[in-house]
Amino acid sequence: MKQSSRPLLATLLGAVLGSTAISANAGTAFVHLFEWKWNDIAAECENFLGPKGFDAVQISPPHEHTAGPFWWTRYQPVSYSNLTSRSGTEAELQSMINRCHDAGVKIYADVVMNNWASYQDHGNLGSGGSSWSPRNYPDLSSGDFHSACTISNYGDANNVWDCGLYGMPDLHTGLSYPQDYAANYLKKLVAMGVDGFRIDAAKHIRPSELDTVLAKANRPWSFLEVIGASGEAVQPSQYTYIAPVTEFKYGVDVANNFRGQIKNLKTLGTSWGLLPSSQAVVFVDNHDRERGHGGGGNLTYKDGALYNLANIYMLAFPYGYPKVMSGYEFTDTDAGPPAGSSSCANSGWVCQHRWNNIANMVGFRNATLDAWSVDNWWDNGSNQIAFSRGNKGFVVINNEDYALSQTLQTGLPAGRYCNILAGAAECSGALVEVASNGMATVNVPAKSAAALHLGAMDSGCTSNCPPAQNVVSLNVRGTFNGWGNSAMALVADHTWQATISLDGSANQRLKFDVYGDWGTNYGDSNSDGVLEQNGGDIYHAGAGEYLVTVNDQSLTYTLEQQGPCSGCFVSNFSQLYFRGTANGWSTSAMQLVANNTWQLVVNFDGQANQRFKFDVLGDWSQNYGDNNADGVLEQTGADIYTAVTGSYTVQVNDQTMRYSVTAN
């Protein structure tokens, strides 16, 4: 099914972008699995990329390369005829291509055509065992290269095109044999099933010569790495007649505004000095920029929530062909990949493409492909924005340090929509109701986002459907719990409940808080049983157990007294607090909801190294973590790491010491 949808996607993209160059092969969004092994890419296509709707995966250069532990040794070719690399053998490469195609995912190979190997600190044998020396390789000799010189003047185009990067031999692509050698390499990969190419360092090859090589290779779909910089002699616009080009300025512009005011991003495009959309391959970061190469200035995985939101914007906004970066953790910018498997189970890999928000936004881009416009724009004048993609999708991005609660025009038909950014699966989180006039009330935590589209509606649900809700969470706070957070449970459409104990003390009162930070809180200024945002404290003189019920649509609430021991539960702890990166390591009180069972709704943002622990007294003197990552707590155990994003219910049993984190 996934495979059969590709021609339609390509046809649609050609219509909306109006470019034969890019529509011939490009789809909606692809991912760069940087330095992944072939076998692991194959499994990822089958298990994740295909099901999530990724159009393609960019792989590291498959040619033989120089030996060494650094990532950049992959970009120093030794031979095109030997396809054994750090990622695997030629047979494993072929198997990966076949398996990814079966999963509906195309393959784009990174190709190094300009500079050849010079680094020999780890010997003169390539990754496939070939012997070589600079300017002398198994299939090339000194006469196939430009004369030895190093690029020294980016204001001189000939110097950029005819000299080597960092002293590496520069292939003479003006000569017939090097042209044929490179073209035959591309044709071999196409014969294996490779669907397209990223031409590395295309800026350092004369446009006419690169065009000739691609023509000799029967013009496979390609995109070209050309880094533009003011005042330089070689610019991206010189290459767009050949193929789409990497728009490096895009990532810097996005980063600058996420560090400033994202309201400005409404007009991002050619008026900003960017290439036309049909000629641009865009990214928040790539393997060079996240290491500060090529100018730097981009957001990276180390920026946590900002990086996450920037990727959401890229996948929502109708400009270019977006590429998601997915690599590994590093402190040394030369460091190669972690040892062992390159799957996401290996903790050294960041796996940004698996972050819920980023992965689910690929589905959003697929669903909004034929609505190539920005409509119903709204912003708060600074760092909260919302817009629709015609009548196909709607996105809200909150880059402020406080929650967003607004009723906005979505442009969507009436219905119940899944907030695809509220859980791992598109419809595993909150539902949002869009009225007949297209309006909907959205509540988005600080540094978070929400997205709706026609392909993720609740209309087809007939059994075990999640309740509709207008808020992602709700807490009751008051004198009874020291103004802490007691999480309420969503028990039916728009209906939240919690049982609380009141002691009848003087000035006993309470309020309701959506995120537990007072950013979006509700009280009752008129004492009429109807809540108002930022309303007055709700006074109550009763004593005993009370069932508190709130309807988040009508904003009505009730307090109903229970039996003499309703809500009385047995526990081994007198109290329990959740503490972690999600709440700045502060103490969030958990609620005793059953015998020995403590519960709290937590909003995770998916930041790098996201983790938490449990604390009985709130002073770390009796804290619990998980040394074995097996779901069982140990006193003073290790931090518990999680990569989830969105609203999750965290539970702890203080008898078995088991804990769980479940999507809401």
Secondary structure of residue 323 in the 3-state scheme = strand
- Look up 225 and say whether it is catalytic: yes
506 CB neighbour count, 10 Å cutoff: 6
Residue 490's contacts (CB-CB under 8 Å, 6 or more residues apart) are 467, 469, 474, 496, 664
Question: By C-alpha distance, which of 90, 80, 64 is closest to 140?
Answer: 80
- Look up 634 and say whether it is catalytic: no
Cα dihedral sign, 305-307-308-312: positive
- The Cα 241–Cα 245 span in angstroms is 10
| Burial label, 346 (beta-carbon count in 10 A; 0-12, 13-18, 19+) | middle
Residue 600's contacts (CB-CB under 8 Å, 6 or more residues apart) are 485, 487, 578, 588, 589, 590, 591, 649, 650
Secondary structure of residue 452 in the 3-state scheme = strand
Out of 40, 195, 225, 285, the active site residue is 225
Residue 630's contacts (CB-CB under 8 Å, 6 or more residues apart) are none
Residue environment code for 107-116, b if the CB has 16+ CB neighbours within 10 A, otherwise e? bbbbbbbbbb
Name the strand (E) or helix (H) holding 659: strand 659-663
Question: By C-alpha distance, which of 399, 421, 396 is closest to 408?
Answer: 396
Tokens matching residue 486: 């007691």
| Strands 495-503 vs 543-551: parallel, antiparallel or unpaired | antiparallel
Tokens matching residue 289: 């920029």
Out of 170, 200, 285, 654, the active site residue is 200
CA dihedral 226, 228, 232, 238 (to 10 degrees): 60
Catalytic residue annotation = 200, 225
